[in-house]
Structure 1
């Protein structure tokens, strides 16, 4: 069985959402920026709910799903790094946007300190928290069955999973990207999706399931 821990419901998976989202503000301060930065599609959705004027500003999109959501909602992506890893991201932003004032629209908790890392490179990154995530609560009886394939779509889904359940040695984790991998306990067996998208995670899970059936 394939369990998807995202709030999204996808065909061919068992929905076991680990997180819920809520807005933390009703306005965005655009007064000191000329460019926005998003590191998740939920941040884009939240910005759209708060103030549709975000689309008047070009955006730096971290992650393919983030880029896709910005464009779906009518925004402009002027930079899309292939990977989101500290030093290379900071160097790229320093090279391409040293003359711009970036505003990072972010969740309350982040897995990577973008502001601090960019500050080391002499880049001032403004931030505004616009949403937060909360863990869903489950009973132990709701835990995935043995031999389950479990799709983790963010560090938050990992955190919330382990607040609810223990890891069974028969489980296999599918991770949406390398950044998510850093938050998974070392004792968990895992595979990283070929592309950092939920659909790619599902494809990888189905491959593993099929191969297990053959064996």
Structure 2
């Protein structure tokens, strides 16, 4: 049976994992001030938050723990791309107003554009994004402000860790696929499982790619196990 390898930024005990990225949580207060937003008058400039990643949530929470002035963000309604990220926010007592039905970047933007008309959203995002969410919102004349909350950095990995031919590789973010390719290139015998359309969208045309039926790591693992039984 084909070997299954999760390409990720942290270890998963359920499956062999190759850590190709590290997440750096960035200071947020300075970035907010650079947007000409005074924390004391936050509600005048921001009346909605946008999250498309649990790492953005983790970054904000970490910054809040270091500076109590940022606690005001808990009161502002949040628009969240998926259930997993929404659950993280709820665990930390944020006010979640909307959870996306479509957990892909392009679908999520279509959902929230009508809801954000006449609103002043602040998007907590990665340094590099591929979904184009920011562009779509700005093109729709949404008064969007953005703060870079975290950065994906590529790990340099010894070539001996390259997965065996015919492995099924699980990618849970576009950055993981790009980092994997940077380290190892691509073996045409691999099959790839993407957690969603945004990740699938960065696969090269010669990649035998599949999309997990549900957008969670556990679902990706189960789907990959099923593929391993079916693929020659």
Q: How does 1:1-215 map to 2 (within 5 A)?
A: 1-27=3-29, 29=32, 30=39, 31=42, 32-51=45-64, 53=71, 54-83=73-102, 84-86=104-106, 88-212=107-231
More helix by share: 2
Deviation at 1:90, TM superposition (A): 4.2
Q: Distance in 2 between matches of 1:100 and 1:12?
A: 42
Q: Distance in 1 between matches of 2:164 and 2:75?
A: 47
Aligned residues: 212
Q: Distance in 2 between matches of 1:185 and 1:103?
A: 32
Q: Distance in 2 between matches of 1:169 and 1:115?
A: 34
Structure 1 residues not aligned, in runs of 5+: none
Deviations 1:125-160 (A, max 9, x none): 110112111001112221001221111000100110
* 3-state SS of 1:5 partner: strand
Q: Which runs of 4+ in 1 moved over 6 A?
A: none
Q: Is the Cα–Cα contact under 8 Å of residues 20 and 135 in structure 1 kept in the other structure?
A: yes
Q: Which moved more, 1:57-66 or 1:38-47?
A: 57-66
Normalising by structure 1, we get a TM-score of 0.90
Q: Distance in 2 between matches of 1:172 and 1:198?
A: 17
